[in-house]
A and B are shown apart, each in its own frame.
Chain A
Amino acid sequence: QQQVKQSPQSLIVQKGGISIINCAYENTAFDYFPWYQQFPGKGPALLIAIRPDVSEKKEGRFTISFNKSAKQFSLHIMDSQPGDSATYFCAAKAAGNKLTFGGGTRVLVKP
């Protein structure tokens, strides 16, 4: 059972454009929602995270939007750059439990 569904699987965006990745979850016990960036052959790196008592969090060009009632959250990458080309994973965690990852989104930013 996939508890965190991520879409799209892949995304192509022009340099300077906005990349949007969406995730939906089922478990209402989840209370921590991080996003990770992974380059080929490397481990995931924490990008930004949010808790459900906040509807939006922004760090630089990265913004998480969170809709608790819809059980959905999304990552927006503003002014996308070729260096942002990577695979992005959303994840969710309940207190004291392990992370559950989404399926990943491969983002390609064309110059």
Chain B
Amino acid sequence: GAVVSQHPSRVICKSGTSVKIECRSLDFQATTMFWYRQFPKQSLMLMATSNEGSKATYEQGVEKDKFLINHASLTLSTLTVTSAHPEDSSFYICSASSRGQEKLFFGSGTQLSVL
């Protein structure tokens, strides 16, 4: 299957700092990327959808100014958590698909801990 690489796998930061998470499609062109958030023992919650070269579409209740998403190329999308606070601590997962393909491939996730 297609490979989606996500980095870092784990990050610990101080409250008030910003954290950037990268998501790369290694062997296909990711025309659409999705960012999810997952709390312990819960399902994945979609945060936003990004299409290459376009502004991201955020789900209701997700602060676009806090969770900055950039999808500047067909192989890279980034999620920046700005001015992180302890309540932002969570497992963040990206996924990617290519045009016309219904299969969705996930990254390995990033565990963010804000102290």
* A42-B109 in contact (CB<8A): yes
Q: Is the interface of A mostly helix, strand, loop or mixed?
A: strand
Provide the residues of chain A in CB contact with B4, threshold 8 Å: 43
* A34-B104 in contact (CB<8A): yes
Interface residues of B in 11-49 (CB under 8 A from A): 34, 41-44, 46, 49
* A41-B111 in contact (CB<8A): yes
Q: A43-B93, A44-B93 are in contact. Are A102 and B43 (CB under 8 A)?
A: yes
Sort chain B's interface into a size bin. 20 to 34
Q: CB within 8 Å of A: which residues of B? A: 1, 4, 6, 34, 41-44, 46, 49, 91, 93, 95, 102-109, 111
Whole-angstrom CA separation of A34 from B6 in the bound complex: 22
Whole-angstrom CA separation of A41 from B8 in the bound complex: 12
Provide the residues of chain B in CB contact with A49, threshold 8 Å: 102-103
Sort chain A's interface into a size bin. 10 to 19
| 0/1 interface trace, chain A 26-69, chain B, CB 8 Å (1 if under) | 00000010101000011111100100000000000000000000
* A44-B106 in contact (CB<8A): yes
Q: A44-B106, A46-B1, A46-B105 are in contact. Are A106 and B41 (CB under 8 A)?
A: yes
Q: For the complex of A and B, list the 5 residue pairs with the smallest distance between their C-beta atoms, beginning with the closest.
A: A43-B106, A43-B109, A43-B108, A101-B43, A32-B102
Provide the residues of chain B in CB contact with A99, threshold 8 Å: 34, 46, 104
